Amino acid sequence: MTARVQPGGDGPAHTPTRTETAHGNGHGTAHENGPGRRETGTRHGNGPDDGNGTTPRADPWHDAGPVAGAEAGHGTARPSGAGLRTGTAPVTRPGRGGGRRGPGSGGGRGRLRRSTPHPLRAEWLRGFAPWAGAGLLLALVWPVAAKADQWQGSWGATTYTLSSAAAMISVPFALAAGGWQGGREHRRRTTELRASTARTPLVQLLAAALPLACWLAAAQLLVTAGTLAACAPYASAGGPAYIVFAGDALTIAACAVLGHAAGRAVPLRLTAPVLAIGGYVTVGALGTSRSAARHLAFCMVQVLGDRDLAVWWYPLVSALWAAGLAAAAVLALTAFRRATALLPLAAALGAAALLVSTGDGLLRDNPLAHRQVCDTSTTPNVCVNGTYPGMLPEVTRALSGLTGRLNGVQNLPVRYEDLGRSPHRGEVQLPNLSPIGWSVVRGKVTDPRRYAWEAAHMLVRPDCGKAPAERIAVTDEAVLRWLAPDPAYEKLRASFRASARQEGNTKELAKFRAEDAAYEHLTAMSDAERRSWLGRYFATADDCHPKPSEVPSL
């Protein structure tokens, strides 16, 4: 404790001096040097010195303050000026020799104060944005996975599925999430507090909107990556349309910012659901329209199957259309000069005009769709489209029973073709492998017997709308039953016969008996006799209206 005596009092005439050694930013040890000695100080810190760490004190009456009043952020207090002036009591100075230390002192060094976390970090890691991203992830996973049979194995079908999900789910979700986030200050009654901060309105809006936009875009990209990984093992040609998926992610981020601006402008609780419903209806109406305006629908890339590809700039211009609207809304709401919003608005309208004017030119033919991969070891040869060459072994296996029965038969078509055109002479159409999910699921033919039955019907008057004469129809039915027997068709035929028997339809029953007799006759032939007869039969099999005398009977 320091005794304070005013100058001119009862204390001794001399003034004690001290030697002060300070370590760090204000820590030190004071030594009393006895009467009559001048004060010397050695200080290592931030104060003025002579360049060598020694600060001389010419004025012995000078001091920084009372003992208890330590400097802020430093752990050592300086003795009071009054104590120096009295000279009646030793100076008690906190330090290594004893006494109390000031706040924050420890081990001779001041404790570093923790830095305040950046507000943007809180928006990124906590609050509404991460939960919105998780919600969009769950909303996308279920419908995409439920249609896995329809897109696994086809890059085009995968692109269309992801684009449709982004348009009908992600876009309304992003608009609604942005609208809810934009009205946050109004719901919390912190609008005046936000307005009083030093940041500009534009920075405040972007600091709240961009984390949400990035979380939603990341959720879309994560679902896209998982879907592409699930499609890759079954897709045998082509590749993912990465630029389409990047454009979808940018569009979703722009929709989140656009919704945030709408929520900030109209801070009502109904803003979010209205944006969701409005976005769903608008995208759905534009996407199903037959006019060129359908290309204005956000994320709705009209790629159907593997026969078409989007031009490389189509997704980017579509994303510019959405981003321009979002930037115009943000600037109109927060910019110091509202007229600057006209620049992004002009860019958005230019992108929209380009999309509408180009129309169907936004899609181009897939060159692989005009090629075929063929197996020439069968009769007829089996060819599949170049967009799924990996299906050739599976299709050949499914048709092996049919082609085996036709081995050595004359007057057959040369090949089964699988191109988007009418078959040429000597060709027949292969049963459809697309769209994926019907005849083919995950690289496998779902029902090989049914598929072979359809392929057999392609050999016998496939394009004839009118049935031939009754005797020819009986012969055709017997040939088809022998070429590709199908248990499901036999059950259906038995049910028709039972129904005709119950109704007493003698004409129908007579037809069934004639077909059974012809089938038994064809089955009873020897292999050589049957091949010869089938050669004469297939010479007239592509004629829709042959004369009964031209078709060999059974």
Q: What mean pLDDT comes out for the span 459-486?
A: 88
In this prediction, residue 108 carries a pLDDT of 45
Q: Is 2's pLDDT higher than 60?
A: no
The residue among 142 and 544 whose pLDDT is bigger is 142
Percent of the chain scored above 90 by pLDDT?
A: 47
Q: What mean pLDDT comes out for the span 97-107?
A: 45
Kindly provide the b/e burial profile for residues 93-106, where b requires at least 16 CB atoms within 10 angstroms of the residue's own CB: bbbeeeeebbeebe
In this prediction, residue 216 carries a pLDDT of 96
User: Which candidate, 493, 186, 225, places its Cα nearest to that of 194?
Assistant: 186
Confidence grade of residue 456 (pLDDT, cut at 50, 70, 90): very high
Per-residue pLDDT tens over the stretch 317-346:
999 999 999 999 999 988 778 888 999 999
In this prediction, residue 125 carries a pLDDT of 76
Q: Is 213's pLDDT higher than 90?
A: yes
In this prediction, residue 526 carries a pLDDT of 92
Q: Is 227's pLDDT higher than 90?
A: yes
End-to-end CA distance of the chain: 130
Of 238-252, 391-405, 442-456, 533-547, minimum mean pLDDT range: 533-547
Sign of CA dihedral 329, 332, 337, 342: positive
Of 80-84, 120-124, 277-281, 410-414, minimum mean pLDDT range: 80-84
Q: Is 221's pLDDT higher than 50?
A: yes
In this prediction, residue 190 carries a pLDDT of 67
Q: Is 65's pLDDT higher than 80?
A: no
Q: Is 367's pLDDT higher than 50?
A: yes
3-state helix, strand, coil in the chain (%, to 5): 55, 10, 40
Q: What mean pLDDT comes out for the span 501-513?
A: 89
Rounded to the nearest integer, the mean pLDDT of the chain is 79
- Give the per-residue SS3 of 421-447: CCCCCCEEECCCCCCCCCCEECCEECC
Q: What mean pLDDT comes out for the span 170-192?
A: 83
